[in-house]
Amino acid sequence: MTGNNEAVAKRAQKVLTPNYRQQPVAIARGEGVRVWDADGNEYLDFLGGVAVNVLGHCHPALVKALEEQARTVWHVSNHYFIPRQVELAEALLEVTPWASRAFFCNSGAEANEAMLKLARKYHHDLGHPERNVIVSCDDSFHGRSLFTVTVGGQEKYRQGFEPLVPGVRHVKFGDVAALEAALDGTAAAFIVEPIMGESGVIPAPEGYLQAARELTRQRGVLLCLDEVQTGMGRTGRLWAHEWAGVTPDLMSSAKSLGGGFPIGALLASEEVGQHLTPGSHGSTYGGNPLGCAVALAVLAELSGGVLEGSREVGARLRAGLERLAAGGRVASVRGRGMLLAVVVKGVSAAEVMKGARARGLLVNAIGDDVLRLAPPLNLTAAEADLAVERLAAALAAAPAKS
C-alpha cells in the first residue's frame, strides 16, 4: 500500500472496530464500472459493493433522482404517508405479480428479520403458535442480526454470540428428502437463496426450488426466498426465482434494489402480508424518500433495456471466463447472469484476487478456491473482455499452491 491509501488505512485501523478484513485500497471515486483509489490507481470494479452497484457507480439517472429528492424532502418517518414509498411499492408489485404487499427497511438483514418474524406471526395469528421453527440451509447467509445469523447456516458467524434464537433447524442445501423430513408440524417457514451468494455462488440444484414450493405448500409452511443478492436483475431476470417458475409467499430484497443507496424490502402475498398488523413491526428509516426515489430510478433503468443487455454481456463474460480453463487453473465457472464464480485449482483464490487487484481488477475471494464476480448489469462487452484479460494474467502469475 502506498501514499494516500496507506494513510487512510492507518487512520482507519486506529478508530474503527476491527471487524472487517480490508484490502489495502481506499476507494475515493467511482464512475460506471470503474473506481479510483486514493493514490489515483484505476480498477474495474467487479465486486460492485458486494453485488450492490447494479448500474455501476454514480449512474446519472440515480444521481438525478437522489439530487431531486434531496431538494424536496429527506425524511419524515412512517408516522405519515410517504408518496415516494407508495410509488415504489406500486412499481415493485407491478413487476412481481404474486406479491401484493411491501414493507421497506434499510438492509438485507432487516428485510430477512421482517420476513422471519412475519412467518412466525402468520402461524401465531392462525392459532398455531407451535408452528414457529424456521428451516434453513447449511452454509446459507441471511445477514448479521442475531436472528439472521442463527438462521444462516455458517457457524463462524454465530460463534461468541450465543445464546442464539431458538426454533431454527438446518438442512443440507439441495437435499429434497432432508427438507421433506424437516417440514413437520412445527415448521413455520423454509428460507432459501436461489443462488447461495456468500458461500460461493452456488446455484440451487435443478428442480430444488420447485420441490421446495411443492412440499411447503403441501405442509402449510411458508416459502421465503432470500433474493437480497440474486434479485433486481442480478441473474438476468428481475428475480432469480423467475428462472425456476416458482412463486414464494414472502421474498426479501436489498443490495441492487437501491443501486448503492441503502434500502431493503420485504414483498408478501396478500394472505401473509396482512399479518404485519399495525404496531407489530417497523423501522424509523424504512421507506425513506431518498432510498425510494433511487430505487424507483433503478427499477426504471432495469425496465428500459438494461436487463436484456446484461444477459448478452453476461453470456460473453461467462464464455470468456470458461475459456480461461485452458490455462489449467480454472476448475469451473458457475452462477447466472452477472453473479458468477470462478472456481480455481492449484492456486489460492486470495493470491489471484491480489494479482487481479495489482492489474486493475477488483474481484472477491471466497474461501480457498472461489472468486466472485458481480459487475454492473450495464457492463459493456469491451469492459467484460478487459476483465477476462486481467484475470487471465492474474491466474497465470499466481504462485502454485504447495
Catalytic residues: 141, 226, 255
Cβ of residue 81: shortest distance to ligand PLP, in angstroms? 26
- The dihedral sign for the CA sequence 70, 73, 76, 82: negative
Give 107 or 310: the residue with its C-beta nearer to ligand PLP. 107
Site for ligand PLP in 49-88 (CB under 6 A): 50
Pick from 103, 122, 141, 208 the residue near ligand PLP by CB under 6 A.
141
Site for ligand PLP in 284-343 (CB under 6 A): none
- The dihedral sign for the CA sequence 244, 246, 251, 257: positive
In the Cβ-directed half-sphere of 68, how many Cα atoms lie within 13 Å?
12
Stretch that binds ligand PLP, among 21-29, 140-148, 279-287, 346-354 (CB under 6 A): 140-148
Q: Which of 78, 130, 123 is nearest to 271 (CA)?
A: 123
Show the binding pattern over residues 145-184: x = contacts ligand PLP (CB under 6 A), - = does not: ----------------------------------------
E strands present in 6-125? 27-31, 34-37, 42-45, 101-105
Pick from 112, 216, 256, 288 the residue near ligand PLP by CB under 6 A.
112
Give 258 or 376: the residue with its C-beta nearer to ligand PLP. 258
Pick from 109, 192, 330, 349 the residue near ligand PLP by CB under 6 A.
109
**Nearest 5°: CA angle at 176, between 175 and 182?**
95
Q: Residue 142, interface with ligand PLP (CB under 6 A)?
A: yes
Q: Residue 248, interface with ligand PLP (CB under 6 A)?
A: no
Helices 381-397 and 349-358 cross at an angle (nearest 10°) of 120
Cβ of residue 90: shortest distance to ligand PLP, in angstroms? 24
Pick from 254, 338, 341, 353 the residue near ligand PLP by CB under 6 A.
254
Show the binding pattern over residues 201-240: x = contacts ligand PLP (CB under 6 A), - = does not: -------------------------x-xx-----------
Cβ–Cβ under 8 Å, residues 221 and 135: yes
Q: Residue 136, interface with ligand PLP (CB under 6 A)?
A: no
Q: Residue 120, interface with ligand PLP (CB under 6 A)?
A: no
Q: Which helix (H) or strand (E) holds 116?
A: helix 108-125
The x, y and z cell numbers of residue 32, run together, are 460506471
Amino acid at 176: V
Q: Residue 143, interface with ligand PLP (CB under 6 A)?
A: yes
In the Cβ-directed half-sphere of 96, how many Cα atoms lie within 13 Å?
32
DSSP state at residue 262: -
Show the binding pattern over residues 178-197: x = contacts ligand PLP (CB under 6 A), - = does not: ---------------x---x
Nearest-angstrom CA–CA distance, 266 and 277: 14
E strands present in 261-379? 264-268, 330-336, 339-344, 361-362, 364-366, 370-373
User: How many other CB atoms sit within 10 Å of the CB of residue 305?
Assistant: 10
Cβ of residue 139: shortest distance to ligand PLP, in angstroms? 11
Cβ of residue 364: shortest distance to ligand PLP, in angstroms? 11
Residue 71: helix, strand or coil by DSSP?
coil
Pick from 108, 248, 259, 273 the residue near ligand PLP by CB under 6 A.
108
Stretch that binds ligand PLP, among 138-146, 154-162, 165-173, 284-292 (CB under 6 A): 138-146
- Judged by the rule CB under 6 A, the positions of this chain that interact with ligand PLP are 50, 107-109, 112, 141-143, 193, 197-198, 226, 228-229, 254
